Structure 1
Amino acid sequence: MNLKNSILILSVLSVLAGLESCNRRSEKSKKEIQDSIKTEALKKWDETIPGSFSDQTDIKFDSAALGKFFKSYPELAVYKDSISEFYKRRNYAYAWFDKKGIIEQAGNLADRIRNIDTEGVSSKSVPYTKDLDSLIYADQGRKTPSTETELMLTGQYFVFANKVWQGVDEKASKSVQWYVPRKKVSYSDLLDSLLTNKSSVYTVEGRPVYRQYMLLKSFLTKYRELESQREVTTIGLDAGKKSYKIGDSSDNIVKIRKRLHFLGDYKESDTLSALYDANLKEAVSNFQERHGLTNDGVIGAGTIKEMNVPLRDRVKTIIVNMERFRWVPAGLNKEYLGVNIPEYKLHVYNADSLLWSCNVVVGKELHKTVVFQGDLKYIVFSPYWNVPPSIVRNEILPAMNRNAGYLKQHNMEITGHENGLPVIRQLPGKDNSLGLVKFLFPNNFNIYLHDTPAKSLFSMEDRAFSHGCIRVSEPKKLAEFLLKDDKAWDSISIDKAMHQTKEKWVTLKNPVPVFISYFTAFVDRKGQINFRKDIYDRDSALEKMILN
């Protein structure tokens, strides 16, 4: 299977995933039939992309044409080195022409460029689109290849690949506090594979974008269609009412039922009933789960607020997160951990397979958890907590001034003085702020994973309470996972190490990558679009960068 076929298959699966909930209904509405027709049309459109690209080597052009081309089209000069290298490897043989003239795939690339907004990229950011169309039109039916058209097509391929597969440059992503190393994509290699019909480079390591990107792309199309159809109706609560639950009746419940049917959460055909029944509760719970709310089926102010978010804002959120997914590695053929800050979740993966997840607590607004990547190397059982100087200065010293017995009451001790401050640590034990175990991946941000005695926080809807480190709700399970291949450790020995009074360090035989990320939109394993609150207000800055 080659790269083109793989992209086609993934695109189709992604679209179908977006329509999965609709296909479960016993009867199809007119809208669903229209959606199905559009989906089939998209499949037919994509099916024209695979095929035999020009692999001829006889028809060539003069390399001097490259310099002339970049003078005529200076906005493509940024890709000069890549384009030159590509043609040097081909010995300057035409890639978009054969002995019969311009090949079909030239038109397909032009279609992709014309419809680049479906990739969450503004068409205004692509230069020379009218020139591309004019050149291709002029070459239809001609057998003599045009060097200008040839180079324009290759230049536009690099534009497409850069904007769709790579995104904004690394300097820009760091400006929005994204410090995970950016993936590296060899566009010339991918283009060479496409044009010479080589064996597939669409492997876990080689594919251009992470699969979540393609899933979000299908929902971008869906939500744009919903936005174009929707009549704006604001949902509220009846006077004196704080929430709705099963058995309640109200005109607002009719509005809620219609909204959830429109969004795909409510599957029944009856949308006019004012009674809150079991079917509506199931839909409400599903909506709440998709938006990171407590999925108890009770319709309170928080749930209604999410229902009232304009679809144009949801579209922007999808586009912003498609951009973020351009930055991440397309996949790893190994075990790794992923923390999604706005989701308050730790996910444990083996390659692309999700093994399990658990709740986490992340940094509060004042102490934001940093977005970065590290390698988890150490587990520390029954850890000391070496209190950071900022916490000593701002919290512990004022508490000591109010209460002379503060350190003893909190099982703390002073071990020295540095820079005019006491060096304080908390002894191991069940009340230690790090809990019974911590997980270290050395980094410049002093961030790590750890247990906590404050277990009640994990059941809260919003879980941004820490000073930046990440508290894990299932620390023993995580320790067992990380040590599963070490015969020296089992569940009993791990439990014993977590409950001793002496700190114990364990070095992992094989470090495990940890990705701390920030995604406010993603597609879950049910094929449903999820949205989360932008708790650090980072979406707006990225939105301005890519949409303005």
Structure 2
Amino acid sequence: MATFGATLAMPAVVRAQENNSIWDIFGHNRTMRDVDREGNTATALSLIETIEPILSFDTAYNLQLAIQNYEQFVAVNGSWDLPTQEMFGLMLGHRRKQVKDLKRRLMINGDMAVEERINDTFDEKLDAAVRLFQARHGLIINGQIDEPTYYALNVPTDYRLNQLRLNAMRIEQWASALSDRYVVVNIPAATIEAVEASAVVQRHTAVVGKADRATPILNSKIHQIKFNPFWTVPKSIIRKDLIKYMNEDPEYLTKFRIRIFDGKGNELQPTDIDWSTEEAVQYTFRQDPGAENSLGRCKIDFYNKFDVYLHDTPQKGLFGENSRFFSSGCVRVEGVDQLAAWLLRDNGGWDVTNVQAAFESNERLDVPLNNQVPIHTTYITAWANRQGTVSFRDDVYQYDAAGQVTFEA
């Protein structure tokens, strides 16, 4: 699918720019002035960010309703039309015949109210519909048919229906293990929800594992928060990354304050190691606390055999990406200070202000939770809320393609 989109989409941008008439440009400028794009984005997000947890029995019920709607559409219509290459690059103010096709598609998807007469102008209503479509698919909301949006439009109806069915079964299984208070990491969405009394009290953007270094799916309990932690580099990262970085830049370890220790705790120098071999794997590499530490200011520990955890990060810019699959299995958390305060509330004296003060102190501090909080790392690529809004995400680890419903937790 990505190859198809990449080969067809880019030439369409050039054609779209070349084909702009003086009337198209004039209409574009006038429409741009009149449309409340920020308001359209806010409306789209309000339809997505409800208090319902992704992982809950309510979502399982809502998915069944969505499945019925999709099955009915497929039975009557077969499939919706996939976008043509000329649809790529459409944006507010454009006047083209492909705009009509886009409107029809978004009416079918429920992103736009059905209209009897459809014109060829990319107007305010279509801008709002595109932004809702982007929000439902976890894309950067800009109102344009850019590459990620084009790819999402290019997914066939039967594929989406299969996603709904698979995820309904997954959620029904996982929901049976839920307690009153829990944390959910949804890997395909790269998001985190803090849930209490069947309602989401916090949402966080996340960065999760790459396809070849997947974040594991599991049920566990968060038991400890470490402030200003050391980072001990996993052997897999030493082997796959660190040796390569040192060959590219012999000052890498010094720049990032990573120290080397042998099995007896003696500190070594980078020059003591033969970087042309895998000798480095037999040593311990530990990064000192600080702003450049790979774990940032906070590490959130939960029991597991994979040596993964939630943590802060100095690379805040990654939270703004469409696709946030950059880690080696651990989960980076945007706004980790708020999540830490929520987790520590039963310890007394830990509000956001105190958490931030602990960050700024640069002092090492480990705080066990008085009440451990369940955490579920999950794989949900489709879900629905009570408003009938259906969301989808890419099958990054190919579990949908394999038809996998049950996971070892």
TM tier, shorter chain?
0.7 to 0.9
Q: Deviations over 1:424-446 (max 9, x none)?
A: 10000011000100100021011
Cα distance in 2 between the residues matched to 1:421 and 1:221: 56
The 5-angstrom pairing of residues 446-525 of structure 1 reads 446-524=307-385
Structure 1 311/500 Cα, relative in aligned 2: closer, same or farther at 3 Å? same
Shift of 1:515: 0.4
Cα distance in 2 between the residues matched to 1:252 and 1:271: 15
- The residue matched to 1:228 in structure 2 has which SS? helix
Aligned to 1:374: 220
Aligned to 2:290: 429
The 5-angstrom pairing of residues 78-477 of structure 1 reads 210-230=57-77, 232-238=80-86, 242-330=88-176, 332-417=178-263, 421-477=282-338
Question: Would you say the 8 A contact 2:112–2:129 is kept in 1?
Answer: yes
Give the greater-gyration-radius structure (CA).
Answer: 1
Q: Deviations over 1:23-76 (max 9, x none)?
A: xxxxxxxxxxxxxxxxxxxxxxxxxxxxxxxxxxxxxxxxxxxxxxxxxxxxxx
- The residue matched to 1:347 in structure 2 has which SS? strand
| 1:214 aligned partner, one-letter code | Y
Question: Would you say the 8 A contact 1:331–1:352 is kept in 2?
Answer: no
Q: How many equivalent residue pairs? A: 336
Question: Would you say the 8 A contact 1:414–1:425 is kept in 2?
Answer: yes
Cα distance in 1 between the residues matched to 2:217 and 2:405: 20
- The residue matched to 1:367 in structure 2 has which SS? coil
Deviates more, 1:452-461 or 1:499-508: 499-508
The percentage of counterpart residues that share the same residue type is 31
Cα distance in 1 between the residues matched to 2:386 and 2:204: 15
Q: Deviations over 1:196-236 (max 9, x none)?
A: xxxxxxxxxxxxx9232221111111001111233653322
Shift of 1:268: 4.6
Structure 1 301/270 Cα, relative in aligned 2: closer, same or farther at 3 Å? farther
Q: Deviations over 1:109-146 (max 9, x none)?
A: xxxxxxxxxxxxxxxxxxxxxxxxxxxxxxxxxxxxxx
- The residue matched to 1:304 in structure 2 has which SS? helix
Deviation above 6 Å: which 4+ runs of structure 1? none
RMSD of aligned Cα (Å): 2.2
Q: Deviations over 1:64-99 (max 9, x none)?
A: xxxxxxxxxxxxxxxxxxxxxxxxxxxxxxxxxxxx
Structure 1 316/534 Cα, relative in aligned 2: closer, same or farther at 3 Å? same
Aligned to 1:103: none
The structure showing larger relative contact order (alpha-carbon pairs under 8 Å, at least 6 residues apart) is 2
Cα distance in 2 between the residues matched to 1:486 and 1:527: 39
Deviates more, 1:482-491 or 1:382-391: 482-491
- The residue matched to 1:440 in structure 2 has which SS? strand
Aligned to 2:12: none
- The residue matched to 2:222 in structure 1 has which SS? strand
Higher helix share: 1
| 1:285 aligned partner, one-letter code | R
- The residue matched to 2:223 in structure 1 has which SS? strand
Alignment TM-score, normalising by the size of structure 2: 0.77
Deviates more, 1:342-351 or 1:321-330: 321-330
Cα distance in 1 between the residues matched to 2:282 and 2:181: 41
Shift of 1:544: 10
Aligned to 1:100: none
Shift of 1:406: 2.1
Structure 1 544/528 Cα, relative in aligned 2: closer, same or farther at 3 Å? closer
Question: Would you say the 8 A contact 2:219–2:376 is kept in 1?
Answer: yes
1:531 pairs with 2:379: no
Q: Deviations over 1:314-365 (max 9, x none)?
A: 1111111111122113374521100110111100100311112110000001
Name structure 2 gaps, 5 residues minimum: 1-43, 45-55, 265-278
Cα distance in 2 between the residues matched to 1:397 and 1:319: 44
Cα distance in 1 between the residues matched to 2:69 and 2:305: 41
Deviates more, 1:400-409 or 1:415-424: 415-424
Cα distance in 2 between the residues matched to 1:489 and 1:453: 23
| 2:304 aligned partner, one-letter code | N
Cα distance in 1 between the residues matched to 2:137 and 2:384: 11
Name structure 1 gaps, 5 residues minimum: 1-20, 22-208
Structure 1 342/254 Cα, relative in aligned 2: closer, same or farther at 3 Å? same
Cα distance in 1 between the residues matched to 2:405 and 2:303: 33
Question: Would you say the 8 A contact 2:209–2:327 is kept in 1?
Answer: yes
Shift of 1:527: 3.0
| 1:324 aligned partner, one-letter code | R
Question: Would you say the 8 A contact 2:231–2:286 is kept in 1?
Answer: yes
Question: Would you say the 8 A contact 1:237–1:243 is kept in 2?
Answer: no
Alignment TM-score, normalising by the size of structure 1: 0.58
Question: Would you say the 8 A contact 2:82–2:156 is kept in 1?
Answer: no
Question: Would you say the 8 A contact 2:229–2:364 is kept in 1?
Answer: yes
Structure 1 474/526 Cα, relative in aligned 2: closer, same or farther at 3 Å? farther
